A = this chain, B = another copy of it.
Amino acid sequence: MNLPQPLQELIDQFESLPGIGRKSAAKLAFYLLNVPQDRLNRFSQALTDLKVKTHKCDRCFNLTENKRCSLCEDEGRDQSLLCVVEEVTDLLVIEQTRKFNGLYHVLYGRIDPLNNLGPEEILAPQLLSRLVKEGGKIKEIILATNPNMEGETTAMYLKSKLEELRTKKSLDFKISRLAYGLPMGASLEYADYGTLIQALDHRNGF
Q: Determine whether A46 belongs to the interface, using a CB cutoff of 8 Å to chain B.
A: yes
Given contacts A7-B54, A28-B18, A53-B4, whether A44 and B37 have CB atoms under 8 Å apart is: no
Q: How big is the A interface, by class?
A: 35 or more
- Measured CA separation A48–B9 after assembly (Å): 11
Q: Which DSSP category, helix, strand, loop or mixed, fits chain A's interface?
A: helix
| CB interface residues, A 5-35, toward B, < 8 Å | 5-7, 9-10, 12-13, 16-20, 24, 26-33
State how many angstroms separate the Cβ of A69 from the closest Cβ of chain B: 8
- Measured CA separation A64–B2 after assembly (Å): 9
Contact A45 B44 (CB under 8 A): yes
Given contacts A5-B65, A64-B4, whether A40 and B30 have CB atoms under 8 Å apart is: no
State how many copies of this chain the complex holds.
2
Contact A17 B31 (CB under 8 A): yes
State how many angstroms separate the Cβ of A41 from the closest Cβ of chain B: 6
| CB interface residues, A 175-199, toward B, < 8 Å | none
Contact A6 B37 (CB under 8 A): no
Cross-chain pairs A/B with CB under 8 angstroms, 22 sampled: A1-B69, A1-B70, A1-B91, A1-B95, A3-B63, A4-B54, A4-B64, A6-B49, A6-B53, A6-B54, A9-B46, A17-B28, A17-B32, A18-B27, A18-B28, A20-B28, A30-B88, A32-B47, A32-B50, A33-B50, A37-B52, A43-B47
Given contacts A6-B54, A10-B46, A33-B54, 4 further A-B contacts (CB under 8 A): A12-B46, A33-B51, A33-B63, A37-B52
Q: Report the 6 A-B pairs with minimum CB-CB distance, sorted nearest first.
A: A44-B47, A6-B53, A10-B46, A44-B44, A13-B43, A9-B46
